[in-house]
Amino acid sequence: MLDDDREQFRGDARRRLLLVGGCLGAGFLVLGGRLFHLQVMRGGEYRTLAEDNRISLKPIFAPRGRIFDRENRALVENSPDFEVVVVPELAGSLRMLFKRLSRHIDLSEEEIKHLLQQARRQRSFLPLRVKSHLSWEEVSSIEVRIHEFPGLDLQSQSVRYYPYDALACHILGYLGEPSDGDRKRLSRITFRSGDLVGKSGVEQHFEELLRGREGVLEMEVNAVGRHVRELHRNPPESGEDLRLSIDFDLQKEAQEAMGEETGSVVAMDPNTGEILAMVSTPSYNPNQFIRGFTHAQWQALSTDPDRPLINKAHQGQYPPGSTFKIVVALAGLATGKLDPKEQVHCGGFLLKEEQRFYCWRRHGHGSVNLIQALTQSCDVFFYKLAERLGIDAIERQAHKMGLGGVTGVDLDSERAGLIPSRAWKRKMFKASWYPGETLITGIGQGYVLTTPLQLASMIATVANGGTVYRPSLLKLEPGQVPDVMVRNHFSAHHLELLRQGLEAVVHDPTGTAAKARPEGGIRVAGKTGTSQVARHRREKSGQIIKSTNEKLQDHALFVCYAPLDRPKIAVSVIVEHGGHGGSAAAPVAKRVMDRYFTKYGSGA
């Protein structure tokens, strides 16, 4: 019996040993197979992953192209700057890191919150820009403690710098963080955290030229992310430099001439369309967009009723007032409906359908011909001429002068202005055109809207004999041909009659722009304008009841070109709520022309 028990025990033990051995054998077989798969079958893949883990790719930012004036004076440069970045996957807790870092640099709770949001939106192995424009003290404080901040790095790069602050700010523009619209518009560009993009001016319009191509630095790092050595460097490519048509001295003079007034000045070469000066006031300092705003500063700038962020030269739309009489006069001559010798009586108003249409001079101008009507800016003369022409003829002539459409200048978001017509009114208001609307259109009021840039182009077209050039902010290189938008074939006789009237505006004792006469006896052709902001209230005698509200005062305008016989410069000025063009806008144009002729002379 005992022997049987022993034999059974031995059999059970053998079975158990075989089972355990089988399990162990199967386990070793599985383990060997897995090792074979990892080391042999996928060994190359994991070697590549290990190699990638020890290589850190660091972007090398490319400097933006610089911007110069026509004489190669730098209007926009790049200056050295220090920033601190972090690679999130190497940093551990970002919130804790930022909290500790805030003891050494100015980093608010709101900024920390924004950084954490940015980190969630991008890949963890990409560097996140924490703070730019560090002071030397901040750089030193971080540098000696860099080992306490895993994943943190100090970088040196160049930042945008506008050496003349607000000068030409609306031309140059400013930089800001890319919006969704920017990313869509510039889909070929890969934006990183902290990148800036042109938001207005030539910075925006020529973004893809000014923006360089970033380089890459491959660095070997150890297990904690510390740099060991440089493996490879792919250098960045700087953006292209731009040479503008702007003349620094003229731009400065125009801006100073405007002083505290709100409005715009545009000066251009009538023979090429090159813009020599473009001022919009009030202005702003584009450097502030690089340094950053406080909430109060941004609120003050963005809610200012005078709209300092808007370039009024190509985005501000104003009734042209009496400067539009140039268009109406040419339309009358071209259609044969105006005899330049014809005398028209002005008694201070025109009665039409029991409504009085007043002249600016309450007692009238008496009998005047075309040249006298231009000289003295007689409204009644142009009421009658507009009535004779009809709105369709006026509209056609205005479009020939480049009004009512974008000029094509090298700036985004240009406004087209408005030249009304019967079809336009039917479409907009589903209403008929009234005869009285033609009359007020004849003096540049009613629905008519123009930009200061369009008015500069209009007077330049008169100056050069009929060619509407595309206004350009880039300096034309030798042999480069300017772009022609419209080539009119105005009668030389008609242009001569117009020039006589425009010359008399400035130089005749009865003219409205004596304050525009430049130094040195240079002859100027010009036209004043006054555009109503609100309808005037009048006494029974016709006398205007002046409002004490400054924002309801008329805008003052002036357009001109000089010298008369061989034009070199065309200027348009608008002073918002300035009153009369001859007293408020003409002196600004005079300063610009004086500076031009002092610098370049009046010869060929």
* Between 34 and 241, the higher pLDDT residue: 241
Q: Is the pLDDT of residue 470 over 60?
A: yes
Considering the domain boundaries, does residue 15 fall inside one? Answer: no
Tell me the mean pLDDT in the region 226-239: 77
Tell me the mean pLDDT in the region 278-289: 96
Q: How many of the other CB atoms lie within 10 Å of CB of 508?
A: 17
Considering the domain boundaries, does residue 311 fall inside one? Answer: no
Please check whether residues 140 and 165 belong to one and the same domain.
yes
Q: CATH code at 69?
A: 3.90.1310.10
Residue type, 320: P
Please check whether residues 195 and 332 belong to one and the same domain.
no
Q: Is the pLDDT of residue 161 over 60?
A: yes
Please check whether residues 193 and 273 belong to one and the same domain.
no
Which residue is associated with the tokens 């070199």? 568
- Structural domain total, the chain: 2
**Virtual CA dihedral for 452, 453, 454, 455, nearest 10 degrees?**
50
Q: If 0-12 CB within 10 Å is exposed, 13-18 middle and 19+ buried, where does residue 124 land?
A: middle
Considering the domain boundaries, does residue 48 fall inside one? Answer: no
Classify strands 152-161 and 74-86 as parallel, antiparallel or unpaired.
antiparallel
Considering the domain boundaries, does residue 46 fall inside one? Answer: no
Structure tokens at 238: 């700087």
- Cα gap 388→394, rounded to integer Å: 10
Share of the chain above pLDDT 90, in %: 61
Domain stop point among 243, 275, 304: 243
Structure tokens at 508: 């005749």
Considering the domain boundaries, does residue 559 fall inside one? Answer: yes
**Virtual CA dihedral for 469, 473, 474, 477, nearest 10 degrees?**
40
Predicted confidence (pLDDT) per residue in 388-406, tens digit: 999 999 999 999 999 999 9
- Cα gap 570→560, rounded to integer Å: 6
* Between 211 and 188, the higher pLDDT residue: 211
**Virtual CA dihedral for 387, 389, 392, 393, nearest 10 degrees?**
-150
Q: CATH code at 444?
A: 3.40.710.10
Distance of CA 485 to the CA centre of its chain: 22
- Cα gap 54→266, rounded to integer Å: 58
298 membership: H or E segment, kind and range: helix 295-302
Q: How many of the other CB atoms lie within 10 Å of CB of 310?
A: 17
pLDDT for res 431: 96
Considering the domain boundaries, does residue 406 fall inside one? Answer: yes
Considering the domain boundaries, does residue 424 fall inside one? Answer: yes
Predicted confidence (pLDDT) per residue in 520-550, tens digit: 889 999 999 999 876 655 555 555 556 566 7
Please check whether residues 216 and 361 belong to one and the same domain.
no
Please check whether residues 252 and 226 belong to one and the same domain.
no
Please check whether residues 149 and 264 belong to one and the same domain.
no
Residues involved in catalysis = 322
Structure tokens at 357: 């249409």
Considering the domain boundaries, does residue 8 fall inside one? Answer: no
Residue type, 404: G
Please check whether residues 102 and 117 belong to one and the same domain.
yes
Please check whether residues 268 and 399 belong to one and the same domain.
yes
pLDDT for res 140: 86
Least confident segment among 18-32, 45-59, 290-304: 45-59
Quick check: 128 and 70 in contact, CB under 8 A?
Answer: no
pLDDT for res 34: 66
Predicted confidence (pLDDT) per residue in 169-207, tens digit: 999 999 998 988 888 888 888 787 778 899 999 999 999
49 — pLDDT class (breaks 50, 70, 90)? very low
Backbone angles phi, psi at 67, to 5 degrees: -125, 130
* Between 21 and 401, the higher pLDDT residue: 401
The vertex-37 CA angle with 32 and 42, nearest 5°, equals 150
The boundaries of the domain holding residue 105 are 61-243
Please check whether residues 354 and 221 belong to one and the same domain.
no
Q: Is the pLDDT of residue 420 over 90?
A: yes
Mean pLDDT (the chain, rounded) = 89
Residue environment code for 372-383, b if the CB has 16+ CB neighbours within 10 A, otherwise e: bbbbbbbbbbbb
Q: How far apart are the first and last CA of the chain?
A: 137
149 — pLDDT class (breaks 50, 70, 90)? confident
Quick check: 62 and 213 in contact, CB under 8 A?
Answer: yes
Please check whether residues 216 and 266 belong to one and the same domain.
no
Please check whether residues 424 and 364 belong to one and the same domain.
yes
Which residue is associated with the tokens 């319009």? 205
**Nearest Cα to Cα of residue 255 among 593, 592, 597, 601:** 592
Please check whether residues 506 and 564 belong to one and the same domain.
yes
Rg from Cα positions in the chain = 36
